Structure 1
């Protein structure tokens, strides 16, 4: 093994960046291992395309592309708006901590990244007025000033190496002793350490634990959740909405249909979502194809994409990011036949929607249409909800909790049965909530890093006395 380092951080997405900086600022040297992506934003060793199926009865087929996100410094935050929501308090009902325990860390994140609403645009002003007209309480979506967090890594206590961690190494007692990695040239290395912080994406992190023989009593990988996000579109005839004149972080939102803020009696589902009218950013060919999905042929004729192109400046959209329940049948494990370029099994994702997901979609889609119509939309349409197990908003698989029988890590991300292993990120979330996860990921990571620093300071005197 190479010379020991106190802490190895695996992945420099939103959580890894914060953990590295907070630990280094507390005087704890950090070695951060960050894989380099291919053009599709994903590393062929850290995040090879998984196989996917809807049920265990099916044979999983290779995904056509890597799952969404980015194996680059800053991770998926570059692909987000970068909207920066706190979770609704009700989302914490199943968590081993309350939103009050995160309040101070939310505040630190908001100061560090200058979180605030973006300036109003013609589109958001229109949708704000429409929401008021039908009795809602609209608000401007909060967003970080930038998605680039690289400045936080400019600290002498942080060493960043381009490499993919392929295994967490443990001793006979199960405690962490180091990591195995592959560098950019394909060379394999072993690095000794006392603590490993797994901070990558959900699927990549679960795969790393399973490749390392860490199963959490069979819980690792179980209960995968996704924001199966969807949109409802509306045509505002003859109106240039100017939706490509600001970034997608510029949005107005309503929260009356989120969590338990409305009566669910007889609806057949729990939870909901924040609904938001956001800017589009560049109108690309992919955007036109997505926007055309669900457009009735009676409206668009035989070429719905061409219809979208003709009317695109007058099309407005409302987004939803609905809750989803954690179900054991939705899971990530290792594929028994497919392997990556290094010879390791790729992740196998088993995931499908349930009846409550579809009922929640119908309910929210109806409210989204009403909002668009109140703003002046003449025609509205939506694509049916589809499973999105490879999206950017994934959750679960390494759930936090107080009971080792039902959870893998505690509220600080420390593994119950693997001393020295810490997991940060949305894989530890026991529930999704109905809004974006990035600020909560960052707040939890800050809280975890401070606890690790306190633990290290307590252990230091006894270490020196030996």
Structure 2
């Protein structure tokens, strides 16, 4: 019997590749099809949303932003590749040691990650070597913003990026071993278990429902897909769906009259960044929030900017795990097969707004220091269906407050592993993809060793 990997985005691709290299047969399942640029209608059925438990949830305008199919949503994004700040992995301990237990906002449940940061460092090193992570050459725009950052006493750096955002080559290497069977256009409906643990999955494939047996299953889809599948399967315990988080993106634009910033001359992975306002860089005892964000002045992409005199700085602000931000199954709304869709209960809190205002102020100052005559901050809004979602199957040691252990293994269900940002106890203020890939490789390696 093979290991089933569900989802072939960055986590599933790495997991499939690592398992095949370790000598295991893998059935790699993805709901998307070759060349797909959208979400699969069954695996990513449009959820319902509400701000509080006292409201009736309504259908969202569409599914979570992103893409199903080989490569997943990584193919839609810049291939930036950040490590999380070690502070993020030990946020609760670091905050309480430095500031005291009362600093964390009421209604939050911040937990340290149940792994050694030094161990994760090793897997970061492996990913960076495998995917050839490094800085992109500077441009007129990034040089201008780096110089301005130095005048503010900051230490700018070139954003790290992988050589390519396409991890399909890894899947090709895995398939070449002869140990991998791919099933595109297939939706996993349920994880099956017996007395010993995982028994396989029930799938919808080519209009039929069938069973794929397996010794182990790796859930490597998006947050909503992973959490919904756990809920539909009745697995994961009382913490499934809890502590849902999002990067509620910030952007501030600046106008540089008479200056052609040439921001279309390179891809969006090319950026100047500063880290002084990420992690514990802001004094939370005075500001009323914990955590911050990397700030980036990035290029617009390969197409010319609509207005070459406008530049922008953006941020991915930390959000803490609030108890009332959660994912469950809608009691009324269903997909085309009659299965409940995910229901999101999500709202911004006071600490989110304070953090956003503080970061927007710094972003304006940076643009002005670079010569911007006018700045304009976009409205700060909740993004429960953005590309950077977190939580719902977080890692920890207590099955009452977490779903998986430090290797992504679901408590009490031998053979079931979850990878991806659903397992993050905290989200940090940086892009998640390198951490997703490092954890997926680490989890797949541990699973492979346990199956021998």
Same topology, TM > 0.5: yes
SS in 2 for 1:132: helix
Q: Which runs of 4+ in 1 moved over 4 A?
A: 37-40
Of 291, 315, 333, 2:310 maps to 315
Q: Which residue of 2 aligns with 1:254?
A: 274
Q: Distance in 2 between matches of 1:39 and 1:418?
A: 33
C-alpha contact (below 8 Å) 1:35/1:46 kept by paired residues: yes
Give 2:192's aligned residue.
169
1:244 Cα deviation from its structure 2 partner? 1.2
Corresponding position of 2:89:
92
1:92-241 equivalent positions in 2, closer than 5 A: 92-93=89-90, 94-154=112-172, 155=174, 156-162=178-184, 163-171=186-194, 173=195, 175-183=197-205, 185-214=206-235, 216-241=236-261
1:16 is aligned to 2:12: yes
Query: Structure 1 residue 264 and structure 2 residue 284: aligned?
Result: yes
- Displacement of 1:98: 2.8
Give 1:6 deviation, angstroms. 2.6
1:74 aligns with 2:96: no
- Tell me whether 1:34 sits opposite 2:30 in the alignment: yes
Counterpart of 1:358 (choices 345, 353, 356) is: 353
Equivalent of 1:343 in 338, 345, 362: 338
Judge conservation of contact 1:174–1:417 (CA < 8 Å) in 2: no
Aligned to 2:60: 63
Whole-Å Cα distance in 2 between the matches of residues 331 and 449 of structure 1?
Answer: 27
Q: Using the TM superposition, give the Cα deviation of residue 66 of structure 1 relative to its aligned residue in structure 2, in angstroms.
A: 1.4
User: Partners of 1:317 and 1:174 in 2: how far apart?
Assistant: 54
Query: Which residue is 1:301 aligned to?
Result: none
Mark the runs of 5 or more structure 1 residues left unpaired by the alignment: 288-308, 458-466
Three-state SS of the structure 2 residue aligned to 1:266 is: helix
Give the match for residue 93 of structure 2: none
Contact 2:335 2:341 in 1 (8 A): yes
- Say whether the 8 Å CA contact 2:25–2:180 is kept in structure 1: yes
Cα contact 2:238–2:401 (8 A) shared by 1: no
Question: What CA distance in whole angstroms lies between the structure 2 residues aligned with 1:227 and 1:99?
Answer: 22
Choose which of 254, 262, 275 in structure 2 pairs with 1:242. 262
Residue 336 of structure 1, CA deviation: 1.2
| Aligned-partner Cα distance in 1 for 2:332–2:325 | 20
Residue-by-residue CA offset, 1:99-151 (whole Å, 9 max, x unaligned): 21111111111111111111101100000000011100000000011111111
Q: Give the secondary structure class of the aligned counterpart of 2:211.
A: strand
Equivalences for residues 427-466 of structure 1 within 5 A: 427-457=422-452
Q: Distance in 2 between matches of 1:282 and 1:119?
A: 15
Q: Deviations over 1:162-190 (max 9, x none)?
A: 2110100112x37211100011x211110
Q: Note the C-alpha offset of 1:39.
A: 6.1
Counterparts of 2:37 and 2:436 in 1: how far apart (Å)?
24
* Match in the other structure for 1:293: none
The alpha-carbon deviation at position 78 of structure 1 amounts to: 0.7
The residue aligned with 1:368 is 363
Is the 1:40–1:66 contact (alpha carbons within 8 Å) kept by the matching residues of 2?
A: no
Instruction: Answer whether contact 2:79 2:164 (CA < 8 A) is retained.
Output: yes
Provide the TM-score with structure 2 as the length reference.
0.92
Question: What TM-score do the two structures reach when normalised by structure 1?
Answer: 0.89
In the TM superposition, what is the alpha-carbon distance from 1:269 to its structure 2 partner?
Answer: 0.2
* Contact 2:333–2:341 under 8 Å retained in 1: yes
For 1:290-301, list aligned pairs within 5 A: none
- The 3-state SS of whatever aligns with 1:261 is coil
Please state how far the C-alpha of 1:40 moved relative to its aligned partner: 5.6
Q: Which moved more, 1:31-40 or 1:195-204?
A: 31-40
Counterpart Cα distance in 2 of 1:256 and 1:357: 18
Query: Are residue 46 (structure 1) and residue 43 (structure 2) matched?
Result: yes
Residue 327 of structure 1 and its aligned partner are, at CA, apart by 1.2
Q: What root-mean-square deviation, in Å, do the aligned CA atoms of Structure 1 and Structure 2 show?
A: 1.4
Please tell me whether Structure 1 or Structure 2 has the larger radius of gyration of its CA atoms: 1
Q: Deviations over 1:320-370 (max 9, x none)?
A: 101011012111111111111222111111100000000000000000000
Matched, 1:6 2:26: no
* Partners of 2:66 and 2:73 within 8 A in 1: yes
- 1:177 and 1:15 map into 2 onto residues whose CA distance is 22
Q: Distance in 2 between matches of 1:283 and 1:340?
A: 37
